[in-house]
Amino acid sequence: MKHAIVLTLILGLAAFGGAGKKSVAVPKLVITPGMKAAKQAVDAGTYALAARLYAAQVAAEEAKPTPSWVQLSFLYNNLGFALQKAAQYDKALEYHRKSRAIRLKQLGPGHTDVALSYNNIGEVHYDKGEYAKALEYHRKCLAIYLKQLGPDHTSVAISYNNIGAVHHAKGDYDKALENYRKVLPIKLKQLGPGHLSVATTYNNIGEVHGAKGEYDKALEYHQKALAIKLKQLGPDHPDVATTYNNIGEVHRAKGEYDKALENYRKSLAIQLKQLGPGHPSVAGSYNNMAGVYYAKKDLDKAKEYMGKAYAIRLRKLGPNHPHTKSSKADLDFLNK
């Protein structure tokens, strides 16, 4: 299952020097029409379009005689985010590192925007399956947030969430739940019960319960997440697709294969529409549908969908990614 990870998109520059820096007055960020259009594309889940729009803004800023470091750090950060969501991970790391370099120079190593860069770099490593590196960067982020913002800040909740997600991906379920349970009270207190970030935490707790075989608890949390996402995002958003996928996973684990396929198909339809046929999330849906068809003893369909999953993952993630290796092993098994 894909673990939803919260990534802060807004740059919170402030008059703050961080460790070893005198307090400085930071120039104001100017939000251009092109930046607004890019943000709208992100909100709509059209990440390839968002990346193109942010890239155009980066080029325009870099072409100025004296580019603004505030503009560039923001644009590099958000271009990195859009590229990550579009599964262009190496390019995403390139721009997140550029943003971090500016922030370290201008704000100092203890600034919360440096923490944000650590967070974002950690998330890309997570998507690449590089979990040790992901934990390294998320822990750097958490240390700064706790020192600068205190234990009840929503940014601290984000770091706990992301650390929990990495432990989840590694199969360390108790550590994952430990971190997710630190997240939920902060978000409920600071954001309210109907916030999308609360839905993310419900989703993640549901996934861990599913992995532990606690299926009724898993469905309870996923349904809570779905209700919030449908209300806040509408029926065609990729995050809604993620929740349908996760509900399908629980039904599959319970042996309710028709219900599983029903939810996987809902997820796939949204992903194809919003992300395109070559996105790794589409591969995830194909992979999961293949598993259901295998359980139903429909081997031809199982091979068909696993082949689709493997082809996408090989092209987008490379042969050494854990998901690619898993699909290859499953396809080899099905072809015996």
Would you state the pLDDT for residue 25?
66
Phi-psi category of 87—alpha, beta or left, where left has phi over 0 and alpha has psi -120 to 50? left
Q: Is residue 153 part of a domain?
A: yes
The token pair at 125 is 């490593």
| Residue 292 three-state SS | helix
Q: Is residue 182 part of a domain?
A: yes
Count: domains in the chain: 1
Q: Is residue 52 part of a domain?
A: yes
Contact 129, 323 (CB under 8 A): yes
Tell me what the pLDDT averaged over the chain comes to.
91
Contact 169, 161 (CB under 8 A): no
Q: Is residue 233 part of a domain?
A: no
Q: Is residue 274 part of a domain?
A: no
Count of CB atoms situated within 10 Å of the CB of 143:
14
Would you state the pLDDT for residue 24?
55
Question: Residue 35's domain is classified under what CATH number?
Answer: 1.25.40.10
Pick from 14-18, 189-193, 285-289: least confident = 14-18
Q: Is residue 279 part of a domain?
A: no
Q: Is residue 22 part of a domain?
A: yes
The whole domain housing 115 covers 1-188
Angle, CA of 105, 111 and 116, to the nearest 5°: 95
Instruction: Please enumerate in sequence order all residues whose Cβ is within 8 A of that of 316, keeping only pairs 6 or more positions apart, or say none.
Output: 87, 278, 279, 280, 283
* Per-residue pLDDT tens over the stretch 249-285: 999 999 999 999 999 999 999 999 999 999 999 999 9
Residue 15, pLDDT above cutoff 50: no
Would you state the pLDDT for residue 26?
74
Percent of the chain with pLDDT over 90: 88
| Residue 2 three-state SS | coil
* Per-residue pLDDT tens over the stretch 222-246: 999 999 999 999 999 999 999 999 9
Q: Is residue 35 part of a domain?
A: yes
The token pair at 151 is 């234990």
* Per-residue pLDDT tens over the stretch 157-171: 999 999 999 999 999
Contact 324, 306 (CB under 8 A): no
CA distances (Å), origin 145, targets 4, 263, 294: 21, 38, 46
